[in-house]
Structure 1
């Protein structure tokens, strides 16, 4: 499948990316891909090993005469975000990604593409098989479960990597190089809420909000895109005086993706149905105007449910839950003063579920300041304690502190200027690159991050500019060759 990728250049990069597209690899299901990469390494005579968590390292000795050059670690993550349009059945644990070329961009049909971070992984593999490239010692580090928990980086073995320089290949902007990133943490809220039988005059309705673009909950958080959970909760709040009671709620599938769709089942007295329908229609117009130019596809629909449930949350529990969700922090909290134009602190209401009285929420807090991440998590805890919910913070990871005086950065900028005629933009990203975690485990590492141009990551709109892949790989080749002439 995806044979058209073999027509693109650089051929080796796209050949490896084809393997990644044809091998299912959502977070937690990378084993098949790891096995294929180990077989590939064996066939090329490359040493490989895994740490206790399962992260994979493939090593290549230096070109003769360059053994004293500083070791370079090429780093990327094997997993991808699993997102598909609601009307497109796709089993990410079984089905390959179906790619297509549109106007100079590669995208996937109805699903995420996996260019994040598949093209970084493919580029590292292509470097490993280069026969004519002069290089120092190379280690390619492929981590697991980055998209769900940063588990691979958080559990990376210490005293394992030998290199002194790390090239993270998980950035998504052409002409830019990243030297810092936000840290973050998952905030999980759970509660059992009281239910009561339906009254004789209550009618069951379904409420849906669809059509949003979605996107990356870090790098897209400031773009004015809609968050389906935030918006549907706003609608439910507006319906409060129609005496609604919630039965079910389902919104978002990943804490690090802006939710594109949300659905609720509710009951309402028959006498209030007409008023509820009018309010939903009016809100649809209001929300479309608010999102105009940023997220134009919003659709709200309220209709009668096919079946009547036996129970719904009590009126009081519904009121408190909707109020708490409506008050919960969502979106940009603060912009950075030290790094103008960069989000400092944000939160994404990524996954919200209610079923049989059991409520679950998973939000992702990000910040350039670890203290702000902690404070946001504590605010969640304080808010949801008011409705009797339990809150816990998991999978916390530190940010990556910028080093503008880095020698590695200087070398990259010089090469960028020589090859492309321009200086790269030096950036700090509001997203969770693994560099912060890796730097904590290996403080001696000098690190930068760069990559091809990717848009719509973490959504079915994900796409990569094909020409940017060749530019990215050329820079990677040139940098590795240049570093081979440096002595440790």
Structure 2
């Protein structure tokens, strides 16, 4: 599978990326890949070990004569986001990713590509394999579960890594280098809500919202794209005028991906069904108008169910739940006053579910300020306590404080000028790079993050620009060699 990747340049990097595409690796299912990489390291005489959480480290001694150079850690995460188009059956725990090239970009067919962070991992492996490269002591750190919980970085052993410089290879913009990132936390809400039987005059309908672009809940949240959960709740709120009661709800699949689809079953009086259908058609046009030019594929449908359910939320519980969801924070909360054009605080209503009266929500709050993350979480708690729900905060991780005077950054900028003829843009990103967590565990370590140009991450539109991968590889090799000459 994916033989055509072997023909792309730089070939060593794409060879390893082919292996990653052919090896299933959704979050929580990285074991097969870890074992494969350990066998690969054994075949090349590279030392390897794991910490207690299962994070993998590969090590290569310095080129003779460069043993005193600062140790360099090449860092990425092994897992990928598992998203497929609804009409495309794909088992991310068993099926390889099928790739193709179009107009200078590499795409996957109907699924996420895994360039985030497969290209960073592939680049690190290619560096370890390159015996023509002059380098100091090298470590490759591959973490687990970055996309779902940051679990690998959060549980990384302290005092385990030996290097003084860390190159995070998990950025997605050509010509940019990142020196800071947002922290974040998952906000989980759960409740058991009362139900009541259907009345004789009630009919059941299936409400669907599909066709949104989706994307990364940090990088893309300011682009004005639709959030399927936010929009479908808005529709449900409007349908309350027809005495609609909610039966079930399923929206979004990952807390860090902008939801592209959401579905609900509802019941309402039979004599209101025609008017409800007209309202849904009008709302489709209204929402399409609001999203025009940004998210043009929205489709909203309402269809009768032939087999009605036995129960729905009672009228009060349904109205209270829809009201709470309608009022919940969603999207950009505040732009940074310090860093122009960067989102300071946001929230993504990532996963919402209701089944048999059991309600579950998982939102991802991000902020450059940990205090703002705590405040959004507390607002969720205050809001959903009104309907008797319990709220908890999980997987909190700190932000990465920028260090604009870093010698490592100065070195990278000099090499960028030499290689590409201009300065890189120095950036802070509204996404959860693992650097924030790693910097807390290794406070003296210098860090930067850079990578090739990736678009549509966390969605089936994910793609990477081939030319940018060549630039990324050239810069990485140059930086490793330059660091071998000492500080």
Q: Is 1:382 aligned with 2:382?
A: yes
Who is 1:403 aligned against? 403
Shift of 1:67: 0.4
Q: CA offset at residue 306 of structure 1?
A: 2.8
Name the residue aligned to 1:428: 428
The residue correspondences of 1:149-164 to structure 2 (distance < 5 A) are 149-164=149-164
- Give matches, 1:203-214, under 5 Å: 203-214=203-214
Q: Residues of 2 paired with 1:307 and 1:465: CA distance?
A: 48
CA distance in 2 between counterparts of 1:456 and 1:305 reads: 35
Correspondence for 1:355: 355
* Equivalent runs, 1:85-164 vs 2, <5 Å: 85-164=85-164
Aligned to 1:275: 275
Structure 2 CA distance, aligned partners of 1:102 and 1:284?
32
Which residue is equivalent to 2:216? 216
Matched, 1:44 2:79: no
Q: What is the distance in 2 between the residues matched to 1:102 and 1:398?
A: 38
C-alpha distance in structure 1 between counterparts of 2:306 and 2:39, whole Å: 52
d(CA) in 2 for partners of 1:306, 1:172: 47
Residue 329 of structure 1: aligned partner: 329
- State the SS of the aligned residue for 1:392: strand
1:433-473 CA-partner distances (Å, limit 9, x unpaired): 00000000000110000000000000000000011111101
1:317-362 CA-partner distances (Å, limit 9, x unpaired): 0000000000000000000000010000000000000000000000
Structure 1: how far apart are the matches of 2:114 and 2:16? 13
Shift of 1:274: 1.3
Tell me the distance in 1 between the aligned counterparts of 2:323 and 2:192. Answer: 16
**TM-score relative to the length of structure 1:** 0.99
* Superposed displacement of residue 271, structure 1: 1.3
Distance 2:161 2:199 in 1: 64
Q: What residue number does 2:265 align with?
A: 265
**Can you give the 5+ residue segments of structure 1 that lack an aligned partner in the other structure?**
none
Alpha-carbon distance, 1:97 to partner: 0.3
RMSD: 0.4
Cα shift readout 1:163-198 (whole Å, capped 9, x = no counterpart): 000000000000000000000000000000000000
Which residue in 1 is equivalent to 2:177?
Answer: 177
Shift of 1:241: 1.2
| CA-CA distance at 1:275 after TM superposition | 1.2
1:131-154 C-alpha deviation (Å, 9 max, x unpaired): 110000000000000000000000
Instruction: Return the alpha-carbon distance in structure 1 between the equivalents of residues 261 and 307 of structure 2.
Output: 22
Aligned partners of 1:83, 1:254: CA distance in 2, in Å? 9
Runs of 4+ off more than 6 Å = none
Query: Which secondary structure state, in structure 2, belongs to the residue aligned with residue 239 of structure 1?
Result: helix
